[in-house]
Amino acid sequence: QVQLVESGGGLVQAGDSLRLSCAASGRTFSTYAMGWFRQAPGKEREFVAAINRSASNTYYADSVKGRFTISRDNAKNTVYLQMNSLKPEDTTVYSCAASGSTRYLRVGTYDYWGQGAQVTISS
């Protein structure tokens, strides 16, 4: 299995930036597409961003496009989410996940999940 651990969450003001990191265990990180999701209490899980195995393709939800950037460093077994121009509505728990499928834009293809990192944006 793959174990994922998020870090980098915290409390910042609107307009500020945060970078989330997700460290993966094992020696097969480069074989997985990676995604970031968020879920507020009482709400459905929301897709945020995804990146394929080689980092040649990325995809973003409309709500974060132009503000967030997903990247990965396969040598470090780590995926990142750079979050700029943060808004209060970005406040929630962010989780990273790993997909062994080429159809990684579908949440059902993600087999491994981190425990989540809290991101809080004050206004």
The pLDDT value recorded for residue 118 is 98
Low-confidence ranges of the chain (pLDDT < 70): none
Q: What is the pLDDT of residue 27?
A: 80
Question: What pLDDT shows up at residue 77?
Answer: 96
**Per-residue confidence (pLDDT) for residue 37, from 0 to 100:** 98
CB 36 within 8 A of CB 81: yes
Quote the pLDDT of residue 59. 98
